[in-house]
Amino acid sequence: MHQLTIAEIIRGLRDRQFSSVEITSHLLERIQQLDSQFNSFITVTGEQAIQQAAAADARLAQGNAPALCGVPIAHKDIFCTNGVRTSCASKMLDNFVPPYDATVVDNFLQAGAVSLGKTNMDEFAMGSSNESSYYGAVKNPWDVERIPGGSSGGSAAAVAAQLVPATTASDTGGSIRQPAAMTGTTGLKPTYGRVSRWGMIAFASSLDQGGPIARTAEDAALMLSVMAGPDTKDSTCLDRPTQDYTANLNESISGLKIGVPSEYFGEGLDSEVGARVQEALKEYEKLGAELVEISLPHSKLAVPAYYVIAPAEASANLSRFDGVRYGYRCENPADLRDLYMRSRGEGFGEEVKRRILVGSYALSAGYYDAYYNKAQQVRRLIKQDFVDAFQKVDVIMGPTAPNPAFKLGEKNADPVAMYLEDIYTIATNLAGLPGMSIPCGFAHGLPVGLQLIGNYLDEARMLNIAHQFQQASDWHQKIAPAAQ
Amino acid sequence: MAVDAQTVEKLAELARIAISKETIDDVSSRLGDVLQLVDQLQAVNTDGVEPMAHPLDEVQVLRRDQVTEPNRREEFLALAPQTEAGLYLVPKVID
């Protein structure tokens, strides 16, 4: 039953082939048996899941079930869940039990989905390897000595290990797409503001965006249909109507113009990864698409601009963790200053502290114009590259990440080397565009992701383009050895 | 670009994050690496480029100033490390 996609589970539940309680129990058992190898969950909410599943079965029997009624999913531990500990993988929030649900979590409850628990991640979503979690690193189901990518490494590993068919995740600089690439799963980062950020613990507010990780583009479309939409509780959430993202999946992509940016195939790209991406592009040509060489001349500046903007916004956002209103407080503070300094010094991990310090530097007196303002100007240049490209093409494609999954510990000593793993995904966040990663083969025996970048609010078309590839290929159906 | 220990101490004070004396050299060198990376921006000509605050150049949405949330004071206070008489407790600020 664990091999089933969400689309198949929906059909199975409606045709009474199995009940929600049955599939939910089955997956909970799998988590219990297998997840000690991967560490993809921080919290498993078994009892609550069975209750939700039983309620879903009752609704299914009545015949008025909502879209994902009885379908098991899991939430990245960045989304607040009413009554369930939401840690953001930090010691700072190890004891934090929110009294409310994030809008995304509420949307899934309204849709009848069953939550199995909360998935592991890099602390406060800051990382590309899922090694900065307070609860320990997540291991890649394709090779447990390797990282699953980050920051949504738990969400991706849980899907790849077939512990759950799909998960929620978030993406600030590649945190959905890069782990999807590393684990052979399908990840979608929507247009900035398409999915509400309310109740999603903030990292860099002008970049953060929630989205799904699933096994197929069709499942990602089903998930996004639940997640997306306006929200009066998030003033940056776009006030534009949402849609059924599965409606266009089967349209032909004949005549599609695919932009291939030369900057995404240069120095630093693993040759086998590059070869798999080129093969995927050839497959698209067979499906009737036309490849158009394009240039995104400011690509090289994306990582430097990001490492000003994201830390600056993080330093402001994470100032709320002060040891006073919630979260970790140090023992026996001497005075208020000591309480702040030690609660934050002890409650945050190394990478989080590093980014807060960088952000404080960029925002400090005399440096604001030289760093934050400059980065925001460069950000517009990066966006303009994409605007120009979309005059000529319908979608942009390239590799999701320059390398397949690396070994645990390999890049820990060098933050800048780790940052460069997101070299192809970061520009999309800076521009606010939607992006996807879909499996397109293997390099050195490990999964490779093909990245799709769509125009603003063009998620339905991007999903259609991804779905057509998955109809013609079976890379997304390959199963990680440890999941068998 | 090197960051000296004094700068790190100043940043730690601004950010209210205690950094132990033993780790300060390590933090300085790693911060230096990151600042060297972001210094690539300085070479870019951005004359006349409007800084980008929102990808779709949306403006802040306004709403009526109406109460929409119920008062859940007790639930929120229950999350705090220390409270008394409906207030958050911190170490004494004024002698």
pLDDT digits (tens, 9 = 90+) for A60-112: 999 889 999 999 999 999 999 999 999 999 999 999 999 999 999 999 999 99
Q: What SS3 state is found at B88?
A: strand
Q: What is the mean pLDDT of residues A228-240?
A: 93
| pLDDT in the model for residue B42 | 93
| Angstrom distance (rounded) from CA A405 to CA A410 | 10
Q: Of the residues A76, A118, A139, A189, which is catalytic?
A: A76
| Angstrom distance (rounded) from CA B48 to CA B66 | 40
Active site residue A262: no
Q: pTM for the whole thing? A: 0.97
| B contact residues 76-95, partner A, Cβ 8 Å cutoff | 76, 78-82, 88, 90-93
Name, in order, each residue with C-beta under 8 angstroms of A15's C-beta and a sequence gap of 6 or more: none
Chain A partners within 8 Å of B53 (Cβ) = 206, 376
Beta-carbon separation of B35 and A361 below 8 A: yes
Beta-carbon separation of A324 and B90 below 8 A: yes
Q: What is the mean pLDDT of residues A279-299?
A: 98
Say whether pLDDT at A430 is over 90: yes
Beta-carbon separation of B79 and A325 below 8 A: yes
Residue A87 distance to chain B (closest CA, Å): 13
Residue B36 distance to chain A (closest CA, Å): 9
Chain A partners within 8 Å of B52 (Cβ) = 376-377, 379-380, 383
Say whether pLDDT at A413 is over 90: no
| pLDDT in the model for residue A267 | 87
Beta-carbon separation of B41 and A315 below 8 A: no
Highest average pLDDT, of A2-11, A406-415, B19-28, comes from A2-11
Question: Would the CA dihedral through A15, A19, A24, A30 be positive or negative?
Answer: negative
| A contact residues 420-479, partner B, Cβ 8 Å cutoff | 431-433, 456
Say whether pLDDT at A139 is over 80: yes
Closest-approach residue (CA) in chain A for B55: A432
Q: What is the mean pLDDT of residues B83-91?
A: 94
Closest-approach residue (CA) in chain B for A337: B16
Question: Out of A99, A324, A346, whose CB is closest to B88?
Answer: A324
Report residue A290's pLDDT band, with 50, 70 and 90 as the boundaries. Answer: very high
pLDDT digits (tens, 9 = 90+) for A357-382: 999 999 998 889 899 999 999 999 99
In chain B, how many H helices and how many E strands?
A: 3, 2
- B18 close to A (CB below 8 A): yes
Chain A partners within 8 Å of B40 (Cβ) = 300-301, 304
Under a CB-based contact definition with an 8 Å cutoff, are residues A143 and A446 in contact? Answer: yes
| Residue tagged 């999309």 (tokens) | A428
Backbone angles phi, psi at A292, to 5 degrees: -125, 120
| Angstrom distance (rounded) from CA A300 to CA A102 | 35
Mean pLDDT over all residues of chain A? Answer: 97
Residue B47 distance to chain A (closest CA, Å): 9
| pLDDT in the model for residue B60 | 78
Active site residue A286: no
Whether this model's ipTM surpasses 0.90 comes out as: yes
Active site residue A319: no
pLDDT digits (tens, 9 = 90+) for B46-85: 999 999 988 887 877 788 899 988 999 999 999 999 999 9
pLDDT digits (tens, 9 = 90+) for B3-34: 899 999 999 999 999 999 888 988 899 899 98
| Angstrom distance (rounded) from CA A368 to CA A371 | 5
| pLDDT in the model for residue B57 | 79
| pLDDT in the model for residue A365 | 84
| Distance set, CA A420 to CA A61, A411, B40 (Å) | 51, 10, 14
| Angstrom distance (rounded) from CA A148 to CA B3 | 33
Q: Of the residues A20, A151, A152, A437, which is catalytic?
A: A151
Under a CB-based contact definition with an 8 Å cutoff, are residues B53 and A206 in contact? Answer: yes
| A contact residues 41-80, partner B, Cβ 8 Å cutoff | none
Chain A partners within 8 Å of B61 (Cβ) = 235, 239
What is the residue type of A351? E
**H helix intervals, chain B:** 5-15, 24-38, 73-77
Question: Secondary structure of chain A in the HEC alphabet?
Answer: CCCCCHHHHHHHHHCCCCCHHHHHHHHHHHHHHHHHHHCCEEEECHHHHHHHHHHHHHHHHHCCCCCCCCCEEEEECCECECCECCCCCCHHHCCCCCCCCCHHHHHHHHCCCEEEEEECCCHHHCCCCCCCCCCCCCCECCECCECCCCCCHHHHHHHHCCCCCEEEEEECCCCCHHHHHHHCCEEEECCCCCECCCCECCCCCCCCEEEEEECCHHHHHHHHHHHECCCCCCCCCCCCCCCCCCCCCCCCCCCCEEEEEHHHHCCCCCHHHHHHHHHHHHHHHHCCCEEEEECCCCHHHHHHHHHHHHHHHHHHHHHHCCCCCCCCCCCCCCCHHHHHHHHHHHHCCHHHHHHHHHHHHHHCCCCCHHHHHHHHHHHHHHHHHHHHHCCCCCEEEEECCCCCCCECCCCCCCHHHHHHHHCCCHHHHHHCCCEEEEEEEEECCEEEEEEEEECCCCHHHHHHHHHHHHHHCCHHHCCCHHHC
| A contact residues 199-238, partner B, Cβ 8 Å cutoff | 206, 232, 235-236, 238
CB atoms under 10 Å from CB of B6, counted, come to 10
Under a CB-based contact definition with an 8 Å cutoff, are residues A143 and A123 in contact? Answer: no
Report residue A255's pLDDT band, with 50, 70 and 90 as the boundaries. Answer: very high
CB pairs under 8 A between A and B: 170
Beta-carbon separation of A340 and B16 below 8 A: yes
Chain B partners within 8 Å of A378 (Cβ) = 41, 44, 46, 49
Share of chain A above pLDDT 90, in %: 94
| Angstrom distance (rounded) from CA A307 to CA A357 | 12
pLDDT digits (tens, 9 = 90+) for A305-337: 999 999 999 999 999 999 999 999 999 999 999
Under a CB-based contact definition with an 8 Å cutoff, are residues A297 and A328 in contact? Answer: no
Domains belonging to chain A, first-starting first, are: 6-256+394-483 (3.90.1300.10)
| pLDDT in the model for residue B1 | 57
Asked whether the bond before A151 is cis by omega within 30 degrees of 0, the reply is yes
What is the residue type of A30? R
pLDDT digits (tens, 9 = 90+) for A185-218: 999 999 999 999 999 999 999 999 999 999 999 9
Report residue A412's pLDDT band, with 50, 70 and 90 as the boundaries. Answer: confident
Q: What is the DSSP letter of B29?
A: H
Report residue A152's pLDDT band, with 50, 70 and 90 as the boundaries. Answer: very high
Closest-approach residue (CA) in chain A for B77: A325
Question: Out of B27, B37, B55, whose CB is closest to A304?
Answer: B37
Burial of A64 (0-12, 13-18, 19+ CB in 10 A): exposed
Q: What SS3 state is found at B56?
A: coil
Q: What SS3 state is found at B6?
A: helix
Residue A196 distance to chain B (closest CA, Å): 14
| pLDDT in the model for residue A72 | 98
Beta-carbon separation of A301 and B92 below 8 A: no
Residue B18 distance to chain A (closest CA, Å): 5
